[in-house]
Chains A and B, each alone.
Chain A
């Protein structure tokens, strides 16, 4: 079935980097995009950025520009999100979600990964 499966929980020290993976299955990976969303404890959902799997074009949230990099590997159908210079405010559950690349609302955020908890603590 169509699904996104994310990597496991991470604990990092301030200043370190984290790289979360998101493996897609059950659909044609490069026909869609992947968005990344995070949720701090007890807070709402925050969009982090988007990557077109088809051509690698990215669009990042302004507040994360310079600290985040999103990539994909079409040979393994895996999307990656790397966040650098971690601080305590980055402690959150990180989700990947399938997104659209051509205005098709049917595929916008229809499938979500299970989430990856990233804890930043000294």
Chain B
């Protein structure tokens, strides 16, 4: 199984800050990775697909990068509505595997 190691597990940041979350795959997954935002009581929402493609309707302050084993999600200027939990997901092989999640909290 491919393990997805996501870091940090949580972070505190202020509105306007630049935030970067990292996922590392235990083996190469090409660019078969998505990033998801989840707010309490809600289903996950896809932000980024194919590692770096912005989902339609998602603000351009979100960006994704990487390929192979190292991936990043960057929020260029954190907004109040961005406080949530973020997950990476690899769909290169079975079982699909998620990162452990990163909770972004208000400083």
A37 vs chain B, min Cβ distance (A): 8
B3: Cβ under 8 A from any A Cβ: no
Contact indicator A115/B43 (Cβ below 8 Å)? yes
Contact indicator B34/A109 (Cβ below 8 Å)? yes
B100: Cβ under 8 A from any A Cβ: yes
Q: Among B49, B95, B97, B99, which residue has its beta carbon within 8 angstroms of that of A105?
A: B49
In the assembled complex, the Cα of A112 lies from the Cα of B55 at a distance in Å of 14
In the assembled complex, the Cα of A44 lies from the Cα of B96 at a distance in Å of 14
The number of residues on chain B lying at the interface, defined by a beta carbon within 8 Å of a beta carbon of chain A, is: 24
B83: Cβ under 8 A from any A Cβ: no
Closest to B31 in A: A105
Type the 1/0 row for B87-98, where 1 means its CB is closer than 8 Å to any CB of A: 101010011111
The number of residues on chain A lying at the interface, defined by a beta carbon within 8 Å of a beta carbon of chain B, is: 21
Query: A44-B100, A109-B34 in contact; A62/B87 too (CB < 8 A)?
Result: no
Query: A46-B98, A105-B31, A105-B32 in contact; A110/B49 too (CB < 8 A)?
Result: yes
Closest to B93 in A: A59
A47: Cβ under 8 A from any B Cβ: yes
In the assembled complex, the Cα of A115 lies from the Cα of B42 at a distance in Å of 8
In the assembled complex, the Cα of A100 lies from the Cα of B31 at a distance in Å of 14
Q: Among A62, A109, A112, which residue has its beta carbon within 8 angstroms of that of B91?
A: A109
**Which residues of B in the span 67-102 have a Cβ within 8 Å of any Cβ on A?**
87, 89, 91, 94-101
Query: A45-B44, A59-B94, A95-B43 in contact; A109/B101 too (CB < 8 A)?
Result: no
Q: Among A44, A112, A114, which residue has its beta carbon within 8 angstroms of that of B101?
A: A44
A63 vs chain B, min Cβ distance (A): 9
Q: Other CB < 8 Å A-B pairs besides A47-B98, A59-B94, A105-B49, 17 of them? A: A44-B87, A44-B98, A44-B101, A45-B89, A45-B98, A46-B98, A59-B95, A61-B95, A95-B44, A99-B91, A105-B34, A108-B91, A110-B46, A110-B49, A112-B43, A113-B43, A114-B43
